[in-house]
Amino acid sequence: MKFIEKCHHELTECLHNPVSTWAKLTNALIAFLIILSVATIPAHFIPDIEFAHKGLEIFDKIVVSIFTVEYFLRIWTAKKPFRYIFSWWGLVDLLAILPFYLGQLGLITRPELFLGLRILRLFKLGRIYTVARSENNHKSHQKHGSFHVMDGEEIEYIAQRHWTVYVGALAFPMLLTTAGVLTMLFLWQINVWAALGVGGLFILFALALFIKLWLDFNYDLIYITNRRIVFQRRELFGANLNEVNYIAITNIKPDTTGFIRWLFRYGDIIIETSAMQGAITFKHASEPFTVVDEISKNRQEILQQTSKARSVDPLITAPAPDNPPGGLTV
């Protein structure tokens, strides 16, 4: 019984606590499988490489098996299973595997339709590239990339870029993967080493781009705490942190102009500070109005606390800005 409870707890952390390391690795694996399974679709329509069709079918069965296990584990570990099943992302997870089983039952008899429906797996990337708000006790006791929580500090909200930005950016790595797979299959019967070399270069380049996008999405974040705001930008090697004290903020506003931004509810967050600091812009943020509300609420609380403290001791002054002069875009 304890073993089952422990497994349930660990799986819940992995599948529902997106800031954990295991969750990020799991999402990276699933995203890579989605890209690879969609990138191999054109290979099914090329008659010259029929020798590889059986292997591609086996690969797809492995992918569907992984997605199926993930789907039922999400149901088992969800706080409200039925709410997850009928939620948008629950339906997306189901659509990622449903065409395969409909094909096995003979309800989808046309191969081109079955392969076309496999593109629905791309919607699953939206789930992967969406970090839900975790409970505060999860977030405040963890290390987040290069950002560390101070004593007495609690992370109240983690803001990130909208998933559509990254799904769109994945188009090029996906094309490179398709080119690598097709090159490898075409050259296989001519020269195995040439197939592995040329095709492998395409795939390795696509993998490098994918890893960069994965790092950008998971670590380019705004940490809103009860004491400060920290902007983290991840590079391929290392990270850049920029801290803003609430007392230094003069204005904060979201920019959601444009039909696409309005439709998908994302935009830029512009934080104006003192003249020495300039303005800080976090581009393509998800739920920008919510982020602005969180920052404004904390700023108001800090201003009230500072005002009360000054009324008791007039010598208390606001903390000095930590940021360098000039504007910053992250």
Q: For the chain, give the number of residues.
A: 330
- Show the domains of the chain with their CATH numbers: 2-128+162-218 (1.20.120.350), 222-329 (2.30.29)
DSSP class of residue 145?
T
Cα–Cα distance, 132 to 130 (Å, whole number): 6
CA dihedral 73, 77, 80, 86 (to 10 degrees): -20
C-alpha atoms less than 13 angstroms from C-alpha of 328 in its C-beta half-sphere: 22
The pLDDT assigned to 325 comes to 46
Q: Which strand ranges, in their side-by-side order, compose the sheet holding 228-234?
A: 155-160, 221-225, 228-234, 239-245
Cα–Cα distance, 161 to 165 (Å, whole number): 7
Q: What is the DSSP string of 85-138?
A: HTSHHHHHHHHHHHHHHHHHTTS---HHHHHHHGGGGGGHHHHHT--PPPPHHH
Contact assessment for residue 189 and residue 51, using Cβ atoms and an 8 Å cutoff: yes
Number of Cβ within 10 Å of residue 67's Cβ equals 20
298 torsion bin: left (phi>0), alpha (psi -120 to 50), beta (else): alpha
Cα–Cα distance, 112 to 119 (Å, whole number): 11
- CB burial readout 139-153, b (16+ within 10 A) else e: bbebebbebebeeee
Q: Nearest 5 degrees, angle CA 14-CA 133-CA 288? A: 135
Would you write out the chain's pLDDT as a tens digit for each of its 330 residues? 677 888 888 888 787 776 667 777 888 788 888 888 888 888 877 777 777 878 888 888 898 899 899 899 999 988 888 988 988 888 888 888 888 888 888 777 666 666 666 777 777 776 665 544 443 334 544 555 567 788 888 888 888 888 788 777 888 888 899 899 889 888 888 888 998 999 999 999 998 888 888 777 777 888 898 889 988 887 667 778 888 889 888 889 999 988 888 888 899 999 988 755 578 888 888 889 999 999 999 999 888 888 877 676 665 555 544 544 455 666
